[in-house]
Structure formats: C-alpha cells, structure tokens
C-alpha cells in the first residue's frame, strides 16, 4: 500500500513538472503573450485625416477621388458646398468644393487618434491572430532583464467589407501592403516578469 501511494506521488510530481506555468519559456506561453500584444492594435488602417473635411476641387482631385471610394463603401457622406480652406501660410481661399462627413457606419471604424505621416484620423479594421510560434531563443539576460526572441506566424481575421472593396483597395495600397506583411514570418521580443512573459512593448508601457 505504501509503495502504491509513493508511486502515485512520484507520478503526480512528474506530471506537474511537465506542466507550464506562466514563467516557463514555451510555445504556449509565448503564443498567449504575443496575442495579448496583437490585441492592442488593428490589423489594417488607412489614413484619411479628420472629418468633417472640405476640399476645393482643382488642387485636391486625387484626395477627393480616394475619399469617393469610401463614400461608395458607405463610410462617408459627400456634399457639394461652398468651402473655405487655409493654406500652410494661413491664407484663406474659398470656392465651390465638396465636404465629406462620417456616416454611422464610418463612425464604427474611424479612429481620430490614429496617426501617420499624413496626420491624425484613420479607418481601421481586422485583428491579428497568432497561428503558430515556430521557435524562440533560449532566454538570456539583457540589460538586467530575461529576454527571449520568438518567431511566429499570424493571420488577419474579422476584416470589414469596406476593406475588401476593390475600389477602396485600389485607392489605398496600404490595405494590400498590410495583408502581405501579415503573411510573412514575424518576430517578437518577450520579457520575463513576475506575472509571466510579456511583449516588450507592453512591458515598457507599465
């Protein structure tokens, strides 16, 4: 009886030793840590600037054509009206133009804080999903922190219909670029904390 009990304890101990805790360097833990980071950002964004936005037609033909595709996709309204705009020197110009405003559908996807070199205001959609952690470096001390670099694969899910609209894709090449970039192998730096492994970008925010 004592032998059977001892054997059961040994087996249970081995089983527990084989289980991950959140501080173990493993594909399972790294997949969760990377996903936690990816959940903080959308997969696809197109920068448009803020709304409402008015444009005089002659000098802004390209911009108007781009925004027209978002009207077609149901994200924006468009109205012809007298427009007053200021140039980079603060000089006002007025004339016949168009004004774009957000539709109720557009408001669901518009992020006024999302910025790039063109300024603030972007339509965003989709989310990244980690499909596989292919490998990772042995955890090592770097700058007083234990760090591992993980290689992983991902896919994009939950893409809204407007980002599949052919006219929108043609007008905003960054949609296709984002999708192509997501298909490539990715790399993520992870830091070990008292709460387990975390993406270094999230660690730096704390």
Could you read off the pLDDT of 49-79 as tens digits, one per residue? Answer: 999 999 987 778 999 999 999 999 999 999 9
Strands 196-199 and 186-193 come out as antiparallel
Q: Measured over all CA atoms, what is the biggest interatomic distance in the chain, rounded to whole angstroms?
A: 96
Residue 72 in 3-state DSSP?
Answer: helix
- Predicted TM-score (pTM) of the model is 0.83
Residue 143's pLDDT is 85
pLDDT for residue 30 is more than 70: yes
Give the per-residue pLDDT at 31. 97
Judged against a pLDDT cut of 50, whether residue 15 lies above it is answered with no
Contact by Cβ (8 Å): 100, 67: yes
Question: Which DSSP category does 25 fall into?
Answer: -
pLDDT at 14 over 60: no
Q: Hey, CA dihedral for 171, 154, 128, 38, is it positive or negative? A: negative
What would the mean pLDDT of 1-25 be, rounded to a whole number?
57
Cis peptide bond prior to 52, omega within 30° of 0:
yes
Task: Return the pLDDT at 11.
Answer: 47
Contact 70, 45 (CB under 8 A): no
Report the alpha-carbon distance of residue 30 to residue 133 in Å, rounded. Answer: 7
pLDDT of 80 above 90 = yes
**Are 145 and 192 a contacting pair, CB within 8 Å?**
yes
Neighbours of 60 (CB within 10 A): 18
How far is residue 204 from each of residues 131, 138, 190, 194, 201, measured CA to CA in Å?
25, 22, 11, 15, 5
Q: What is the mean predicted confidence (pLDDT) over 183-190?
A: 96
Mean pLDDT across the stretch 167-180? 97
pLDDT per position as a tens digit, 110-134: 998 876 655 689 999 999 999 999 9
């Amino acid at each position: 009886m004592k032998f059977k009990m001892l054997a059961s304890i040994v087996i249970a101990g081995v089983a527990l030793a084989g289980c991950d805790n959140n501080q173990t360097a493993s594909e399972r833990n790294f997949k969760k840590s990377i996903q936690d980071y990816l959940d903080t950002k959308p997969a696809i964004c197109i920068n448009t600037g803020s709304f409402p936005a008015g444009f005089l037609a002659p000098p802004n033909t390209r911009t108007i054509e781009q925004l027209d595709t978002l009207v077609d996709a149901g994200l924006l309204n468009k109205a012809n009206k007298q427009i007053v705009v200021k140039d980079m020197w603060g000089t006002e110009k007025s004339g016949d133009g168009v004004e774009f405003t957000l539709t109720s559908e557009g408001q669901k996807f518009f992020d006024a804080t999302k910025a790039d070199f063109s300024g603030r205001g972007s339509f965003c959609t989709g989310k990244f999903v980690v499909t596989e952690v292919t490998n990772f470096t042995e955890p090592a001390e770097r700058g007083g922190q234990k760090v591992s670099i993980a290689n992983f694969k991902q896919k994009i899910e939950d893409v809204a219909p407007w980002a599949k609209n052919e006219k929108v894709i043609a007008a905003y090449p960054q949609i296709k670029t984002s999708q192509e970039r997501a298909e490539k192998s990715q790399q993520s730096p992870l830091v070990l904390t008292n709460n387990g492994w975390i993406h270094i970008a999230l660690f730096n925010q704390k």
